[in-house]
């Protein structure tokens, strides 16, 4: 569907947020060939909105006010879609929990659901899921302290659907030792300064890429400065084809207490179709190994919308994972991003939604609670990413990072630091390119250290 959209700033960028939700929509600003034309004109304090498909036309004039504009445009567009263009209504941001949290504070749980349905045009199921997730996760947020994120951007090979800045291991092998040395130095300096300046560390999270693409001894060297850290310490083991007993022994010895082992969907035909280089059996064997190693929580990620999935099979997979000892399950939607090998979704919106609903239902029946939720641009089927956990096993890092409730110190290539307190954060990005990271690490580290020293007094 080609949508021709013409609007003066700032209504152009606001309207675009909604047009991206339109199923299979492609937005153009000029051109004679289109399926839908949307025209917004500023009439000095009032906005004139027209939408036409060439046969019928809908037109409204409204006060020039951002929420009213989105609300009206959403309803007009939905008339040309035989129904709502998104179950998330005009809540187009990636962190809808922030708005839900404010509504819960002012109107309570059921009032927040009503507000989200009536003023933000969410479908009731989505509003309920969001409010429940926020009400489970937000109360755990801490008023002081910060978290540390350590990036290991390497993977043994690239999966077809991957939209992360992951780097294939082989071409970088001769840089890994320097990377590990530099990352460990960065981590050591940051932890030491936190300790000297009295900054509390709430969680440490090691993500990727695939951190276990490093050898056990490299992982040990990188994370040695955090050895015996007493709080939440998570490592994404990611690809089961990288995980060994030696990795698990090193992680246990370091004090890691949460681990994630992922297949995205443990079915051989699906794994082959999405370019994963391991089998379902290898995934379950790695999972057993991780559960037997005795980590407090083992997480696994599943993606809704992959080839070969059905609602029944998806629910069956969840039951099998729970029986195997998984305490956290993150249900992701496929993100169709530039940089990913796939450009179109494998399953249609209705199929994907049925699978997601079936998954949420089975998780609920097994005692898992939703506790954080976020969205991304270009999510297939306008779905959502939701973290579920058994009570007591929620991942603090994920709740805090989605809520953007505290500073984050980023370590390693591509890691983002969020420096600041309250609502205002300054982001500082370590370069994604490993060579540039190695060249600039010291300079960036010094900026983080001086922020830790200068901002000590403003820590609430
Ligand atoms: S394991 Fe994850 S980060 Fe690595 S290539 Fe696959 S999807 Fe990307």
* Integer Cα distance of 270 and 287 in angstroms: 18
pLDDT beyond 70 at 455: no
**Best of 151, 160, 163, 164 for a ligand 1 pocket test (most atoms within 8 Å of beta carbon):** 164
**Best of 152, 155, 275 for a ligand 1 pocket test (most atoms within 8 Å of beta carbon):** 155
Average pLDDT, stretch 356-383?
92
Chain-centre distance for alpha carbon 434 = 23
Query: Band of the pLDDT at 343, cuts 50, 70, 90?
Result: low
Find the 168 Cα to ligand 1 centroid distance in Å.
9
Q: What is the pLDDT of residues 84-123, one digit of tens each?
A: 888 999 998 899 999 999 999 999 999 999 999 999 999 9
Q: Which residue's CA lies nearest to atom 8 of ligand 1?
A: 162
Helix ranges, 268-423 (H): 268-273, 280-292, 311-323, 349-365, 396-403
Cβ-count burial of 404 within 10 angstroms (0-12 exposed, 13-18 middle, 19+ buried)? middle
Cβ-count burial of 428 within 10 angstroms (0-12 exposed, 13-18 middle, 19+ buried)? middle
CB-based contacts of 10: which residues, under 8 Å, 6+ apart?
none
Choice between 295 and 335, residue whose per-residue pLDDT is larger: 295
Find the 420 Cα to ligand 1 centroid distance in Å.
30
Q: Which residue's CA lies nearest to atom 5 of ligand 1?
A: 158
Find the 275 Cα to ligand 1 centroid distance in Å.
10
The ligand 1 atom nearest the CA atom of 276? 6
Q: What is the pLDDT of residues 245-257, one digit of tens each?
A: 999 999 999 999 9
Q: Which residue's CA lies nearest to atom 2 of ligand 1?
A: 209
What pLDDT score was predicted for residue 457? 44
Q: What is the pLDDT of residues 135-188, one digit of tens each?
A: 999 999 999 999 999 999 999 888 777 777 789 999 999 999 999 999 999 999
**Mean pLDDT: which of 6-10, 218-222, 277-281, 340-344 is highest?**
218-222
pLDDT beyond 60 at 456: no
Average pLDDT, stretch 337-351?
69
Query: Band of the pLDDT at 124, cuts 50, 70, 90?
Result: very high
What pLDDT score was predicted for residue 216? 97
Average pLDDT, stretch 403-427?
92
Which whole-number Å values give the CA distances from 25 to 17, 35, 221, 310, in the listed order? 12, 10, 48, 26
**Best of 207, 213, 236, 238 for a ligand 1 pocket test (most atoms within 8 Å of beta carbon):** 238
Name the 3-class secondary structure at 126: helix
* Integer Cα distance of 254 and 225 in angstroms: 9
Ramachandran quadrant class, 412 (left: phi over 0; alpha: psi -120 to 50; beta: rest) = left
Q: Which residue's CA lies nearest to atom 6 of ligand 1?
A: 159
Find the 209 Cα to ligand 1 centroid distance in Å.
6
pLDDT beyond 90 at 195: yes
The mean pLDDT of the chain is: 92
What pLDDT score was predicted for residue 459? 41
Please state the pTM of the whole predicted model.
Answer: 0.92
Find the 431 Cα to ligand 1 centroid distance in Å.
19
Cβ-count burial of 367 within 10 angstroms (0-12 exposed, 13-18 middle, 19+ buried)? exposed
Find the 276 Cα to ligand 1 centroid distance in Å.
9
Find the 165 Cα to ligand 1 centroid distance in Å.
9
Q: Which residue's CA lies nearest to atom 3 of ligand 1?
A: 209
pLDDT beyond 50 at 460: no
* Integer Cα distance of 37 and 44 in angstroms: 22
Q: What is the pLDDT of residues 277-332, one digit of tens each?
A: 889 999 999 999 999 999 999 999 999 999 889 999 999 999 999 999 999 999 99
The ligand 1 atom nearest the CA atom of 157? 5
What pLDDT score was predicted for residue 184? 97
**Best of 161, 168, 209 for a ligand 1 pocket test (most atoms within 8 Å of beta carbon):** 209
Residue matched to tokens 């990036």: 151
* Integer Cα distance of 308 and 301 in angstroms: 17
Cβ-count burial of 392 within 10 angstroms (0-12 exposed, 13-18 middle, 19+ buried)? exposed
Average pLDDT, stretch 61-78?
94
SS3 of 179-210: the string is HHHHHHHHHHHHHHHHHHHCCCEEEEEEEECC
Query: Band of the pLDDT at 379, cuts 50, 70, 90?
Result: confident
CB-defined site of ligand 1, < 6 Å: 155, 158-159, 162, 164, 166, 208-210, 238-239
What pLDDT score was predicted for residue 341? 55
The ligand 1 atom nearest the CA atom of 264? 7
User: Is 372 in contact with 100 (CB distance < 8 Å)?
Assistant: no
User: Is 347 in contact with 308 (CB distance < 8 Å)?
Assistant: no
Average pLDDT, stretch 335-350?
68
* Integer Cα distance of 79 and 61 in angstroms: 17
What pLDDT score was predicted for residue 157? 84
The ligand 1 atom nearest the CA atom of 155? 4
* Integer Cα distance of 104 and 131 in angstroms: 8
Which whole-number Å values give the CA distances from 151 to 225, 235, 290, 423, 450, in the listed order? 15, 10, 21, 24, 21
User: Is 45 in contact with 62 (CB distance < 8 Å)?
Assistant: no
């Amino acid at each position: 569907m080609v949508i021709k959209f013409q609007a003066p700033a700032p209504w152009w960028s606001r309207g675009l947020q909604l047009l991206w939700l339109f199923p299979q929509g492609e937005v153009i600003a000029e051109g004679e060939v289109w399926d839908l034309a949307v025209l917004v004109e500023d009439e000095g304090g009032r906005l004139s909105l027209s939408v036409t498909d060439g046969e019928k036309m809908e037109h409204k004039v409204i006060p020039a006010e951002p929420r009213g504009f989105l609300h009206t445009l959403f309803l007009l567009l939905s008339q040309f879609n035989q129904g709502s263009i998104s179950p998330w209504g005009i809540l187009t941001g990636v962190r809808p929990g922030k708005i839900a949290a404010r509504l819960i504070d002012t109107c309570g749980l059921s009032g927040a659901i009503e507000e989200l349905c009536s003023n933000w045009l969410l479908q009731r199921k989505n509003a309920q899921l969001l409010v429940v997730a926020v009400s489970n996760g937000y109360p755990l947020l801490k008023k002081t302290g910060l978290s540390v994120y350590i990036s290991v951007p390497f993977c043994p090979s690239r999966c077809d659907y991957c939209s992360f800045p992951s780097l294939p291991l082989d071409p970088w092998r001769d840089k890994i030792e320097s990377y590990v040395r530099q990352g460990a130095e960065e981590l050591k300096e940051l932890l030491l300064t936190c300790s000297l300046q009295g900054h509390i560390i709430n969680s440490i999270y090691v993500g990727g890429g695939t951190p276990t693409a490093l050898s056990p001894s490299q992982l040990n060297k990188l994370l040695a400065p955090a050895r015996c850290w007493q709080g939440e310490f998570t490592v994404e083991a990611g690809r089961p084809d990288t995980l060994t007993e030696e990795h698990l022994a090193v992680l246990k010895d370091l004090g890691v207490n949460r681990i994630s082992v992922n297949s995205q969907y443990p079915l051989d035909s699906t794994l082959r179709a999405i370019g994963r280089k391991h089998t379902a059996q290898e995934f379950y064997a790695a999972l057993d190994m991780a559960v037997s190693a005795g980590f407090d929580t083992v997480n696994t990620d599943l993606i809704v919308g992959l080839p070969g999935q059905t609602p029944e099979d998806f629910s069956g997979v969840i039951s099998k994972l729970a029986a195997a000892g998984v305490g956290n399950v993150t249900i992701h939607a496929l993100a169709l991003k530039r940089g990913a090998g796939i450009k179109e979704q494998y399953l249609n919106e209705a199929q994907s939604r049925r699978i997601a609903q079936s998954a949420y239902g089975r998780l609920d029946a097994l005692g898992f609670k939703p506790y954080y939720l976020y969205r991304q641009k270009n999510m297939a089927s306008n779905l959502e990413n939701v973290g579920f956990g058994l009570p007591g096993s929620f991942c603090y890092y994920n709740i805090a990072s989605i809520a953007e409730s505290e500073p984050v110190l980023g370590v390693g290539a591509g890691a983002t630091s969020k420096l600041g307190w309250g609502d205002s954060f300054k982001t500082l990005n370590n370069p994604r390119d490993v060579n540039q990271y190695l060249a600039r690490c010291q300079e960036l580290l010094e900026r983080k250290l001086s922020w830790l020293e200068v901002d000590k007094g403003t820590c609430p």
